[in-house]
Amino acid sequence: MSEAALEEIAALSSIYCGEGEYELIHGSGVDGLVVQIKTAVGHDARRAEVSLSFHLPPLYPLCPPNVSVSSPLLSRGQCQDLRRKLQEQAAALPKEPMVHQLVAWLQQSGEVAKEGRGAAATEQVEATSGGGGGEEWMAVLTLDHIRSRGRYVKQLKRWTEQLQLRTWLLLGHHIVIVLQGTRADIQEFCSLLKTVKVDVNCLGRKCKERMMKVLWQSPCLSPSPEPRLELHGHHTNRPAFLVLEYQSMSELVAAFQEIDAAELYRQIQTALTT
């Protein structure tokens, strides 16, 4: 397998890190790799869970992956229709790692042919962003290091704006990123971290973020029009991208308490202190 394919596999395991979301089914230098990703298409009552299997042949990404689709909620015909559309999309993409692009395309297009009872009638599911539709998610990431701080922070801010996220970057003994937005946009942010050269290594050469870990992710418990990461008394002034430095763990705890995120800190406390 090419180095690009192996890097993509490593990135996918970090992006789709929810329980049962990602699995490496098979790996062989002769037969290639088979990965399975579970996601959802549509939203609300019309949301359908699907399992996508991608067979990456040894020459991948010079040739596209073979895709199979299964779902307990969709008929065989519907799964075949999704498979055909994914294969067409794969054939149209540049010859570079594309699994995450294909999953994101399916999530965002929301294309599921709904069959009428005893009829071949179909309807298009309304497009929504992300496997959870427009539902707000929060995620907490940690980075191993930031060497080229100006370059790195500038890139994180650019992605925050492009993906319409709210991002809180905490710099100290641990480098922590708190994200809020749709699940698909958060996953895209993680994918960019793993696939774009955002920092420099110890030799000063540009490198990708290979050490990023997702510590926690979950739907927001009670989404509201007000961003949940706003500091009290600063709703109108605070930008969507905020950088905060801390000197001690007590300062980090205090920062989480300031934004009413003490429970969020408790969720990640063990991961930060081990």
Q: Please write the tens of the pLDDT for every residue from 160-217.
A: 988 889 999 999 989 999 999 988 888 888 888 887 888 887 778 887 787 888 888 8
Q: Do 78 and 59 form a contact (C-beta atoms < 8 A)?
A: no
Q: Determine the straight-line distance between the first and last CA of the chain, rounded to whole angstroms.
A: 34
Tokens of 155: 């890139």
CB 36: neighbour CB atoms within 10 A? 18
Domain with residue 165: its CATH number is: 3.30.70.100
Cβ-in-10-Å burial (0-12, 13-18, 19+) of 30 comes to exposed
Residue 123 domain flag: no
pTM above 0.75, yes or no: no
Per-residue pLDDT of 94-150, as tens digits, reads 999 999 999 988 887 765 544 432 222 223 222 223 334 457 888 999 998 888 888
Per-residue pLDDT of 212-233, as tens digits, reads 888 888 887 543 333 344 433 3
Residue 55 domain flag: yes
**CA count, 13 A, side-chain hemisphere, 114:** 11
Residue 129 domain flag: no
Q: Last residue of some domain: 109, 144, 179?
A: 109
Q: Which of 243, 241, 265 is nearest to 252 (CA)?
A: 265
**CA count, 13 A, side-chain hemisphere, 208:** 13
Per-residue pLDDT of 18-40, as tens digits, reads 888 899 887 776 778 889 999 88
Phi/psi of residue 160, nearest 5 degrees: -60, -45
Q: Do 255 and 246 form a contact (C-beta atoms < 8 A)?
A: yes
Residue 22 domain flag: yes
